[in-house]
Each structure stands twice: as structure tokens, then as C-alpha cells.
Amino acid sequence: SHNPPEYNGLKMMVGGDALYGDAIQALRTAIAEGRFAPVAPGARGALSAQDLGERYLARVSGDVKLARPMKVAVDCGNGVAGTYAPALFRALGCEVTELFCEVDGTFPNHHPDPAHPENLEDLQRCLRETDCEIGLAFDGDGDRLGVVTRKGAIIFPERQLMLLAADVLARNPGA
């Protein structure tokens, strides 16, 4: 997440609801006390592992078409977006300059929260010092995006939404 390292971890879900607070403590107590629902005799679970990375990259790059290749600076803030974001933009035909794309949950370079301008300073500096056309910064778990223009201006999320809405409305009149 974009939270500080000491608050990062796994989000547990039960039936579509996040498990947190007292519910996590109750689960911990049940585990410590050995209170579990009985399992039918002879019942076995199954374990499988799949690497969905290539399928994900193929799906997104198959759906998205850029008008032209771009030079993009990508700052993943050492969050999990570093696993796929550079490869995805390359698959889209972009030339990518990577900043802090090595996953490290201690976030050694800067906090991975693009909502705070101070966390975009490295990206702004990269745009000033290179010929990249746009800068993209992801939060720690890759579900929020910071955008910086070639001149270093920040396009805040509200404006990003307006730009996306204008595109959708242009393609879907009356929507």
C-alpha cells in the first residue's frame, strides 16, 4: 500500500469483506486456542501456483493502443507496480526510464504516495534532465497514479478524472 512500511502487509478478505480490527484479533485468538471448524475425514485441499504476469501484460497491451510511441519516466517508489509497470509500457511501445522499480517494502528512496508533491520530486527532476515526455508515479500497491508533465507540472487525480471523462464522453455522446 501507500502506507508506511510498518503498516504494510496482506489484506485479508472473507466473503468480499475486509477483515480488520477486532475480527483479526478474534481470528488470532481462535488460531492460538486451536478452535477450527471440523474438516470431513479424508478431505484434502489443493494447491496450485500460476504466474499470470505474461497473460496480464498481453491482455493490457492487446487492449491499449497508443497513437505513437512515447518516452515515459516511471517511478514505482519501490512498490509492487515495479514488477510490471516498466514491462507494460515497453510492451505498449514506449521507451521507459525507470525510477525505483525494484520492489522493496521499506521504501528506501521516497514514500510511494503520489498524492503528496514531495514524493514526485525525483520524477520531476528526471523529466527536467531527460527527454521523457511524461512521468508516471504509482503508489505502493499500484492502484493510484501520479502524473507529471514534461515541464514538471503535476496533474492531480481530479484533473486526471476530467481528462478520462472527456475521452469517454467524446466516444459515447450523451453518456
Catalytic residue among 1, 78, 97, 124: 1
Amino acid of residue 27: L
Asked if residues 119 and 137 have their Cβ atoms less than 8 Å apart, the reply is yes
61 is catalytic: no
Active centre residues (catalytic)? 1
